[in-house]
Amino acid sequence: MKELEKVYNPQEFEDRIYDFWQKGRYFHSEPDDSRKPFTIVIPPPNVTGQLHMGHALDETLQDILIRYKRMQGFNALWIPGTDHAGIATQIKVEEVLRKEEGLTRYDLGREKFLERVWDWKKTYGDRIINQLKKLGSSCDWERERFTMDEGCSKAVKEVFVNLYEKGLIYKGNRIINWCPQCTTALSDAEVVYEEQPGHFWHIRYPVKNSDEFVTIATTRPETMLGDTAVAVHPDDARYAHLVGKTLILPLVGREIPVVADEYVDQDFGTGCVKITPCHDPNDFEVGKRHQLEEILIMDGNAVINANGGKYEGLDRYEARRQIVRDLEEGGYLVRVEEHTHNVGACYRCGCTVEPMASSQWFVRMKPLAEKAIRAVREGETRFVPDRFSKTYLNWMENVHDWCISRQLWWGHRIPAYYCDACGEMVIAKEEVHTCPKCGAAMRQEEDVLDTWFSSALWPFSTLGWPEDTPELRYYYPTSVLVTGYDIIFFWVARMIFSGLEQMGQVPFSHVLIHGLVRDSQGRKMSKSLGNGIDPLEVIREYGADALRFTLATGNAPGNDMRYYPERVESSRNFANKVWNAARFILMNLKEEDLSFSTAGLRPEDEWILTRYNDVVRDVTENLDKFEIGLALQKVYDFIWDLFCDWYIELVKPRLYAGGEESAMAQRVLLFVFSGALKMLHPFMPFITEEIWQALPTAEEACVTARFPVYDPALRFSESAGRMEHVMETIKAIRNRRAEMNVPHSRKASLYIETAHPEWFEGAALFYQKLAGAEQVLINSKIPEGTVQLVCDGASLYIPFAELIDLESELRRLNKELEKARGELARVEGKLKNQGFISKAPAALVEAENAKKEKFLALIAELTASIEKMEGRR
RNA sequence: GGAGGCAUAGCUCAGCUGGUUAGAGUACUUGCUUGACAUGCAAGGGGUCACUGGUUCAAUUCCAGUUGUCUCCACCA
């Protein structure tokens, strides 16, 4: 038998245990028709940034489920997400390039630049992946690289062509969100809105050949350079006479019409709206309806272009200042109001996005969304907790077409090919070099796809699709997606409609949603606040098991949790407790034959087995419902409170006594403890495995052991009840001794007066060991001068004559009596209620009756004691 | 404007399909070097379960409203 170190030191063994699992290839799984698959998809870590708590949480939850299912005999597979096409990397590399070498990506050229990005990802990806290992997960860089290069990109082309042929992808000139800093288009989901204080400029537009004018109000005066109309509401009497007239655009001098359009809200602002089709989505629509000219006034960096006349070359904000000044000088500015409004910013770089008309690729969402809505409505995919399906449906029902093209280089390049000679465009899975129409050379679309386009294919592209692989047939649809609620729109929704469209089936049956990890003040952890906590630091200090425990417990699914160092500390303390329990058991296992059987069990054995069995049942139920925190809490309570604080203490006398009694105790200890370790293993794999390797157990590794199963043969309700009765009295004695400040070392005889002497059979040792009893006398003559304790079904007497203060004793007894009477009144009230008797379940009425009896007996005992004491006063 | 969450001990939070003497961790008070563990053991104090109604024999739990608070989505030029 191996010995355990004296001190719990996770750093000493976690790496070793990880290697042990790797060698045993416990993380690998292949399709195997004799076992049911269980597959989990989890989101990607951002390999360029810091590993943060969110990843740690994803990994932990995923790993708990995988281990649990594997221990139940499932063939469990984990499909790790990767940051395969995240544009953050590209932007980071560009930034470094600019700072360190003064170069842009265009200086390097596409090929060289992409190599740089790969190098970057390799360096940082390895770092992150190695860190993730510490959480007990295995992530494989080679696999990530493969899926980016080969499998995934093939799937992307396949899907793109597929959707294009069905008319679900189109290229069009539309208003999109443009990030001038990332210089790319963004999807709606990538824009975050924030209330910002701003101004409302009221500007006068003169009517041509008249001294009349209209006043418009705007928050973005610089966009007036692109104005091609002013709109009013068709029913607005104030302006009816102006519809069809021509205005002169101030500063620019362009002649623009006044048009009537339902879009205008008569009650907002002045009731006149300047129309800038190229820089506002609503104006764009108005422009289309009235065949207005479209004038783009900015370039990709949000600098005014040639269409802006004398403002060309100015940044959008400089242009704004200049224009406002000029308007004022020209007498066009009526007034300026303070105005707070929502401003969209790029979620990645925080730069204010510029709505701009631009030629981009879009996915037509309506038909895809319909299927995706139905799948969730009909329960093919279930969100856990269920309320997130509302979030999902709400979004899906109001979804706009998805802008999928990005003006970047890192990512999957759109498989569209153009012929500059004849204007032909070809969409194809294979590269096209010559134009099928005129034979001229073709060039591929420069734009790449949104990261989430390829991420959406993850559940099947990683399994070999579009080939019909055994993996795909075996593992798809997957079982669970584990992720935070912040990426429901980005990823979850898109995986669902992509899976439905390409595979005809939902990608997963359950979506387990967790909350965000916040700091101790409830703030979101972020780089800019500097409040991010590095999981690796935590692991170094407390161990991976402690971190996992912290992340898995103490909050309900889908709710945010706050990170407190104290909580990790308490988790570590629990690990230490388990460690020491193991040490205790190991140093007491002396028997040759430690095989467990139910023959000859003592009441305390039957009690712990019964409780153990209950926990097995409960934990299994909880885990099957993804109630991970609840399950872990039950394992924790069982191990610490029931097993360590009670059972171990109860069996110590037998262990030390030796002989067959001791042997029996050893067998039960080993059986229950190893079972508890198995239950704990999914949550705290390292410590359980390390201990397992030291224990003389039949199964070679905890990771491959079978998860405990509820066993009716281990249910001993009668002796369990009796044992708890004894425990109640022990607690009562301890309580009294503590109140009277009797030190543990001071022993005294214990007299028990009871109508159920059989309850206390063989319990003498327990009172001696745990309640400071010298000898235990049942139903013998009670000496004078004792402290009396009234318990359910028994009165206990301890001769502490000199410590007795009659008055305080009486006060205490009367207080107890009052409490018991209160309880009795409550129970009787219930039982007197005819409605309760007739409508409540019989078992409940029965239980209430039993309670009534119990309280009646207690009250009788207490009254008798009080009377006796009064007599002595 | 639309949707959703949260409100339980000093603090952070559990409490699953209504019935418990309402729990945990932490903090606090007291006593313990009890032969695994002071990262520990034992005992204790501390809660009108936000408020108001409703459903029910029974509401911390279900429903409606109110207040406070947080989040997401949409968006008004």
Give the nearest nucleotide to A267, CA to C1': B76
Task: Convert the pLDDT of each residue in A57-75 to its tens digit.
Answer: 998 999 999 999 999 999 9
pLDDT at residue A145, as a whole number: 65
Task: Convert the pLDDT of each residue in A854-869 to its tens digit.
Answer: 888 888 888 888 888 8
Give the nearest nucleotide to A622, CA to C1': B16
Give A751 CA → B45 C1' in Å: 30
Residue nearest to nucleotide B26 (CA to C1'): A566
Give A569 CA → B38 C1' in Å: 15
Range in A110-124, A251-265, A364-378, A639-653 with the lowest mean pLDDT: A110-124
Residue nearest to nucleotide B21 (CA to C1'): A823
Give A417 CA → B32 C1' in Å: 82
pLDDT at residue A494, as a whole number: 96
Residue nearest to nucleotide B76 (CA to C1'): A268
Give A842 CA → B57 C1' in Å: 13
Residue nearest to nucleotide B27 (CA to C1'): A566
pLDDT at A25 over 80: no
pLDDT at residue A816, as a whole number: 84
Give the nearest nucleotide to A218, CA to C1': B77
pLDDT at residue A136, as a whole number: 61
Give the nearest nucleotide to A562, CA to C1': B12
Give the nearest nucleotide to A637, CA to C1': B24
Give A563 CA → B59 C1' in Å: 33
Give the nearest nucleotide to A636, CA to C1': B24
Task: Convert the pLDDT of each residue in A472-504 to its tens digit.
Answer: 999 999 999 999 998 899 999 999 999 999 999
pLDDT at residue A194, as a whole number: 84
Instruction: Spell out the residues 6+ positions from residue A376 whose beta carbon is closer than 8 angstroms to its own.
Output: A382, A383, A389, A392, A393, A396, A496
Encoding tokens for residue A95? 């930034």
Give A271 CA → B72 C1' in Å: 31
The single-letter code of the amino acid at A150 is E
Note if the bond before A459 is cis, omega within 30 degrees. no
Mean pLDDT calculated for residue range A631-638: 95
A259, burial (CB in 10 Å: exposed 0-12, middle 13-18, buried 19+): buried
pLDDT at residue A87, as a whole number: 72
Give A420 CA → B15 C1' in Å: 68
Give the nearest nucleotide to A7, CA to C1': B37
Give A384 CA → B62 C1' in Å: 20
- Write down the residue that tokens 């790496």 correspond to: A15
Range in A167-171, A528-532, A557-561, A845-849 with the lowest mean pLDDT: A528-532
pLDDT at residue A219, as a whole number: 92
Residue nearest to nucleotide B32 (CA to C1'): A744
- Write down the residue that tokens 């000044």 correspond to: A325
pLDDT at residue A149, as a whole number: 65
pLDDT at residue A865, as a whole number: 84
Give the nearest nucleotide to A347, CA to C1': B72
Residue nearest to nucleotide B73 (CA to C1'): A395
pLDDT at A793 over 90: no
pLDDT at A85 over 90: no
Given a contact cutoff of 8 angstroms between Cβ atoms, the answer to whether A648 and A608 are in contact is no
Beta bridge partners of A514: A484
Task: Convert the pLDDT of each residue in A816-851 to its tens digit.
Answer: 888 888 888 889 888 888 889 988 888 899 989 988
DSSP A484-518: EGGGIIIIIHHHHHHHHHHHSS-SEEEEEEE--EE
Residue nearest to nucleotide B4 (CA to C1'): A391
pTM exceeds 0.95, yes or no: no
Q: Which bases along strand B come within 7 Å of a protein CB atom?
A: 2-6, 12-16, 19, 21, 24-27, 30-37, 39-44, 56-58, 72-77
Give the nearest nucleotide to A564, CA to C1': B12
pLDDT at residue A747, as a whole number: 87
DSSP A783-826: PSS-EEEEETTEEEEE--GGG--HHHHHHHHHHHHHHHHHHHHH
Given a contact cutoff of 8 angstroms between Cβ atoms, the answer to whether A84 and A44 are in contact is yes
pLDDT at A783 over 60: yes
Range in A271-285, A308-322, A696-710, A793-807 with the lowest mean pLDDT: A793-807
Give A744 CA → B33 C1' in Å: 13
Mean pLDDT calculated for residue range A602-625: 94
**CA–CA distance, A493 with A401 (Å, rounded to integer):** 14
Give A625 CA → B62 C1' in Å: 22
Given a contact cutoff of 8 angstroms between Cβ atoms, the answer to whether A677 and A701 are in contact is no
Share of chain A above pLDDT 90, in %: 62
Task: Convert the pLDDT of each residue in A341-383 to its tens digit.
Answer: 888 998 878 889 999 999 999 999 999 999 999 999 999 999 9
Give A580 CA → B34 C1' in Å: 16
pLDDT at residue A637, as a whole number: 95
pLDDT at A1 over 60: no
**CA–CA distance, A231 with A272 (Å, rounded to integer):** 6
Model confidence at A554, in pLDDT bands (50, 70, 90)? confident
Given a contact cutoff of 8 angstroms between Cβ atoms, the answer to whether A324 and A136 are in contact is no
Give A363 CA → B17 C1' in Å: 42
The total of other beta-carbon atoms located within 10 Å of residue A52's CB is 18
Residue nearest to nucleotide B42 (CA to C1'): A734
Encoding tokens for residue A661? 């009694």
Which of A119-123, A127-131, A503-507 has the highest average model confidence (pLDDT)? A503-507
Residue nearest to nucleotide B19 (CA to C1'): A844
Encoding tokens for residue A444? 């591929």
Model confidence at A402, in pLDDT bands (50, 70, 90)? very high
pLDDT at residue A538, as a whole number: 92
The single-letter code of the amino acid at A134 is K
Give the nearest nucleotide to A630, CA to C1': B14
pLDDT at residue A288, as a whole number: 93
pLDDT at residue A675, as a whole number: 96
Give the nearest nucleotide to A488, CA to C1': B72
Among A222, A219, A279, A215, smallest CA distance to A247 is for A215
Give A477 CA → B2 C1' in Å: 34
**CA–CA distance, A431 with A661 (Å, rounded to integer):** 79
Give A798 CA → B47 C1' in Å: 34
The total of other beta-carbon atoms located within 10 Å of residue A390's CB is 11
Give A504 CA → B38 C1' in Å: 61
Give the nearest nucleotide to A558, CA to C1': B5
pLDDT at residue A121, as a whole number: 79
| Mean pLDDT, chain A, whole residue set | 90
The single-letter code of the amino acid at A227 is D
Give A791 CA → B5 C1' in Å: 45
